[in-house]
Structure 1
Amino acid sequence: MEDENKKAAKPSFGQVIISTLAAAIGVQSNKNRERDFQSGSIMTYMIAGVIFTAIFVLTLVLIVKVVLGNMG
């Protein structure tokens, strides 16, 4: 009965963020991966992944603009 409660519990906002970051750099633990697949919604992780990717790309663009702006 306790296993059913664990499966039914949705991951918290922090757990989704940590899982997304861990997946982005390839260091997700097996325990967390199983939790994500059993109780998490695919849409939650897709949205988190898209947001993370957008922030990452915008950060890289900003860094390049700052570096190139200081060269001229």
Structure 2
Amino acid sequence: MAESSGAERKEQQKPKGPGVLKVMQSILAGAFGVQSDRRRREDFSGHSPWPYIIAGVLFTASFVVGLIVIVNLVLAGQ
């Protein structure tokens, strides 16, 4: 019984943040405009916004760089 109460105390002391997969799903859904209002509220209800902000900036930067590379490859092939 002592083990379970110790585990419960650890869970209560440290709130668990969103996982990497959940953050990526939210970023992709938001980027394509299909994020539901329920999911958006769930994402920002009790967690820090920093994982979402960092992932969003990284996604946007890689998307723009990817587009630039594709356009340069297409134009170089002509």
TM-score by length of 2: 0.74
Aligned residues: 65
Judging by fraction of residues, say which structure has more helix. 1
Greater relative contact order: 1 or 2 (C-alpha under 8 angstroms, separation 6 or more)?
1
TM-score w.r.t. length of structure 1: 0.80
Counterpart mapping for 1:1-72 below 5 A = 8-71=15-78
> What is the aligned-residue RMSD (CA, Å)?
1.5
Structure 2 segments unaligned to the other structure (5+ residues) = 1-11
Structure 2 residue matching 1:62: 3-state secondary structure: helix
The answer for unaligned runs of 5 or more in structure 1 is none
Structure 1 moving runs of 4+ over 2 Å: none
The sequence identity of aligned pairs, in percent, is 45
